[in-house]
Amino acid sequence: MSKDKLVLADPDDFRVIIITDGTTTTAEILVRRRQLGVGTARRRKGDRRDHELGESLALERAFRVAADRLAKTRRMLYGDLDG
């Protein structure tokens, strides 16, 4: 049986901030004003500027960091659940 519980939260508790300067895009995930994940994507010299791609890569990396942190927390709280 899973130990997960559905917890309803205020939507204002979650924020995603994306900052770009044309070469580097950074995405930051905040939960209750605490940083949960950060991801960065850089454009290589000679590549065309593609803001959507940079945002997608930065977001994917930020969500991966956040998921890894949450999985680590679950393992610490409940033991090794996935083997």
pLDDT score of 83: 53
Identify the structural domains of the chain with CATH numbers, from first to last: 11-78 (3.30.160)
The pTM of the full predicted model, rounded to 2 decimals, is 0.77
pLDDT in tens, 4-57: 676 767 888 899 999 999 899 999 999 988 999 999 999 988 888 888 999 999
Q: What is the DSSP string of 10-72?
A: -GGGEEEEEEE-SSEEEEEEEETTEEEEEEEEEPPTTPPP-HHHHHHHHHHHHHHHHHHHHHH
pLDDT score of 22: 83
pLDDT score of 1: 46
Confidence class of residue 3 from pLDDT cuts 50, 70 and 90? low
Does the pLDDT at position 2 exceed 70? no
